[in-house]
Amino acid sequence: MDFKMLDKIVTNYANDNENNFAIKNSSEVMPMCEKVIKEPFVPVIEDKWSRTFNLNESINYIYNFLKSIDEELTVRFINIIKAVDENNQPYVNFIPRQDNLTSDSRLENGKVYIYYDNSPKEMLLILHEVLHKLNECPVIDEENNSYTSFTREYLGETVSITGEMFLSNYLYEQGIITGNDLTILKNWRLNADKEHARNVIVDNELLRLKLSGEAITKENIYKLINSYDKGSPYYPILLDELHDLRRTTSILKNGELNLRKSQKYVIGQVLAENLSQQNNIADFIELHNEVGNPDSDIVEVVRNIREKHRTL
């Protein structure tokens, strides 16, 4: 492990004013990370889907689900699935997933790419990525640069993850997937977001070390770990990181910390669970609209969420 290089990357990140928001935000996100880390997986009976869904079936079920919650969103969903650009290329592209193909489904340069393998998970991913597309709202500044609003940057994943949770509950309630399928889906999402929570914790500790004026060395990381009580949720995570170095290796590989990216999934997991447990469709639609509003004020949106969800 090249700790010198790691020290340099963390120093650069800490010194870049653009990261102030993410660094300050970490203190708010850390309790959420603890919550996600502590959340238990539900045991699955069988690690296998009960059935497969072809693409048409999947789109139909998503359509029926949306129809049961919001007419406007349903129309927009169907329109974007059918829409093509000026070169007659679709906005939403479905690509059969092959075993050797590891690309993630994503929204990139205004186009959605779904890698499809007929599993119930893919239904969630279609909705997830299409929701990103539907609340896409570049803010254009005076110099014609386009960027993402803070609200969308931080709460876009929340909308998409909430959509996934509502859809999976709907599929279960309608008897389309089994309870075991639902458990696999929940564990899959939780597992991914536990990894994001781990990333935020490791990044935050590296930054804390740096901002306290210490160099990032193996010895200093050990000292930091030992400053925690053994019962602290951070203790096993930091120890685990020192053993497998998976977060630090990824930081070295990318040449940068990406605290913001991991933070937004952690926020998403916590908020989405809250919204889906309360079956709060109205707040979900409202948040989707705020995320899609270029003039949205994140401080206002967060205040609003906190007022409604006192436990957060």
DSSP state of 235: H
The answer to whether residues 36 and 270 touch, using CB atoms and an 8 Å cutoff, is yes
Residue carrying structure tokens 């139909």: 60
Spatial distance between the Cα atoms of 5 and 1, rounded to a whole number of angstroms: 9
Q: Among residue numbers 177 through 216, which ones bind Zn ion (CB under 5 A)?
A: none
Neighbours of 274 (CB within 10 A): 18
Spatial distance between the Cα atoms of 94 and 53, rounded to a whole number of angstroms: 14
Q: Among residue numbers 60 through 79, which ones bind Zn ion (CB under 5 A)?
A: none
248 binds Zn ion (CB under 5 A): no
How are beta strands 92-96 and 111-116 bridged, if at all? parallel
Spatial distance between the Cα atoms of 251 and 257, rounded to a whole number of angstroms: 6
Residue 160 CB, shortest distance to Zn ion, in Å, is: 5
Spatial distance between the Cα atoms of 189 and 175, rounded to a whole number of angstroms: 21
Residue 159 CB, shortest distance to Zn ion, in Å, is: 9
Count interface residues toward Zn ion (CB under 5 A). Answer: 2
Residue 104 CB, shortest distance to Zn ion, in Å, is: 9
Q: Of 160 and 276, which CB lies nearer to Zn ion in the complex structure? A: 160
Whose CB is nearest to Zn ion? 160
Q: Among residue numbers 30 through 49, which ones bind Zn ion (CB under 5 A)?
A: none
Residues 119-158: x where in contact with Zn ion by CB under 5 A, - otherwise, as a string: --------------------------------------x-
Contact with Zn ion (CB under 5 A): which of 19, 119, 158, 160? 160
Residue 174 CB, shortest distance to Zn ion, in Å, is: 25
Task: Give the binding site for Zn ion (CB under 5 A).
Answer: 157, 160
